[in-house]
Amino acid sequence: MKALLAMAVAASLLLAAAAHAQRRPPTEQPAQECAAQGTLPKEWSGVAYAVDGDTLAGVGLKPLIRVWGIQAPKLLDPSRTESVPGMRARATLEDLLSAADHKIICRILKFDRECQVVAHCTLHDGVNPIDIGGAMIAAGMAYGARLDETLPWEPKASQRYSTAEFEARKNKRGLWPTWLGAK
């Protein structure tokens, strides 16, 4: 039974990744285009799974969750083939989620141009909350993106992410050797 459930989750995540790979061109989306996703909540908590290295699918949440402040390699490249960096980033995110039984809390900022929820998310394992974006950057599986947009509730998050990226790059963690051109 567990194997069937795992296969069903994997199949739905692969479908979500395929749909995610067919992104719209980078233009601003009018707010009414995202209206079909429902009202934008201020916070969401629940169980989530990794779609790729910077996108989550929340159980019971219609839009996908785009993790604020990071950019990770996409799972599927433009030819819809899984990429090794994308698989590594997704696996790292899934390992982080697994450590907390996939339980997360997200503070939501806005809808992005693909009508995904942009949110700052933390893992809650019952002891210490872990900033998902910060952990991905520190592991070298993502880099800081759109950090000029500060979080109203945590104005120093952008600086923390920049510092974590500097350390990961300097120590060549995760994908940094590839990104820096080393083999």
Domain count, the chain: 1
Question: Considering the domain boundaries, does residue 34 fall inside one?
Answer: no
Question: Considering the domain boundaries, does residue 31 fall inside one?
Answer: no
Question: Considering the domain boundaries, does residue 32 fall inside one?
Answer: no
The closest of 134, 58, 68 to 96, measured between CA atoms, is 134
**What does the block give as tokens for 113?**
């141009």
The closest of 72, 93, 94 to 83, measured between CA atoms, is 72
Percent of the chain with pLDDT over 70: 80
pTM score, whole prediction:
0.81
CATH number at residue 73: 2.40.50.90
Question: Considering the domain boundaries, does residue 30 fall inside one?
Answer: no
Work out the pLDDT band at 135, boundaries 50, 70, 90.
very high
* pLDDT tens per residue, range 4-44: 334 334 444 444 444 444 444 444 444 567 877 677 789 99
Tell me the residue range of the domain where 100 lies. Answer: 2-20+40-179
d(CA 38, CA 34): 8
Question: Considering the domain boundaries, does residue 121 fall inside one?
Answer: yes
Question: Considering the domain boundaries, does residue 28 fall inside one?
Answer: no
Which region among 17-31, 70-84, 105-119 has the lowest average model confidence (pLDDT)?
17-31
Question: Considering the domain boundaries, does residue 29 fall inside one?
Answer: no
Structural element, H or E, at residue 110? strand 103-111
Question: Considering the domain boundaries, does residue 26 fall inside one?
Answer: no
